[in-house]
Amino acid sequence: MRIYALLVYLFLYVPIGIIVLFSFNSGKAASQLQGFSVQWYGKALSNTFVVEAFQTSLTVAFISALLATLFGTMAALALQSLTGKLRTLFDALIYIAVMVPGIVIGIATLIALVTLFEWLNPLLKAIWPMAEAAPQLSLGIGSLIAAHGLFSMALVIIIVRARMAGMDRSLIEASADLGATPFGTFRQVTLPQLFPGILAGFLLAFTFSFDDFIIAFFVSGSQTTLPIYVFSSIRRGVTPEINAIGSMVLAISLILLITAQSILRRSAPKS
């Protein structure tokens, strides 16, 4: 079993290690190591298209993670009061949202948004004071934020509810017995206990949105995120610059994931 596990880890991580190694290549060939240099990191960071795509990914990831965290936390608190078959139904819907392949979510979101825009645009034109200046809804940064926010909200709900399961209920009961209002109890007792799970959910939602390609490919419209830029570039061939971009994205993702995991571990109740 140990040998099998070792082979699995090698299969997963050796290709990633090769990308990182060749990102320091001093030559122009992506698959021939001709020396070590950080020149490709400098070229990637000075590339206007890379910087714009990075800014788009950063904006979408931050706003969608913020919305997913806000609404996901509220949903987790609301679901805690449900019991019986209704709770089972909502639990199933949440886990299905995580399990459904990204390509299915991307296609479904694209069809839903296009259908919605076809219905709303004529309505906006009809009610707008100046029909010629009426706004036209279309795919873009808004659809990216909506798609990523809705999907990653399921992740936040799962994480926050797991944190709620380990909460010390006696503190909430004591707060109520001492005359605190429901909002006061939530602000001073419940929220501080939930905060590590909320923060971890935000970081994971941010990571998902920042790294996502499949859903973004369908709903981005004219916007270009960093994963979409990388995909478009490798169709013309892999260069050390692409390896450098991939390595930087990997570093950002690992930092966020390790931070989220550390927060969850430190906040876990000790037996």
Written as six digits, the tokens of 35 are 């020396």
In 3D space, the residue among 156, 177, 181 whose CA is nearest the CA of residue 71 turns out to be: 156
User: What is the pTM assigned to this prediction?
Assistant: 0.80
Helix spans in 23-140 (H): 39-46, 48-79, 84-99, 102-127
Residue 229 is given by DSSP the state: H
Q: Is 36 helix (H, G, I), strand (E, B) or coil?
A: strand
Q: Is the pLDDT of residue 80 over 60?
A: yes
- Residue-wise pLDDT tens digits, 117-163: 888 888 878 787 776 767 778 888 888 998 899 888 988 998 888 88
Mean pLDDT over the full length of the chain: 82
In this predicted structure, the answer to whether residue 62 has a pLDDT above a threshold of 90 is: yes
End-to-end Cα separation, the chain, in angstroms:
30
What is the three-class DSSP state of 134? coil
Q: How confident is the model at residue 266 (pLDDT cuts 50, 70, 90)?
A: low
Cβ atoms of 37 and 25 within 8 Å: the answer is yes
Can you list the domains of the chain with their CATH numbers? 54-267 (1.10.3720.10)
**How high is the pLDDT of residue 30?**
63
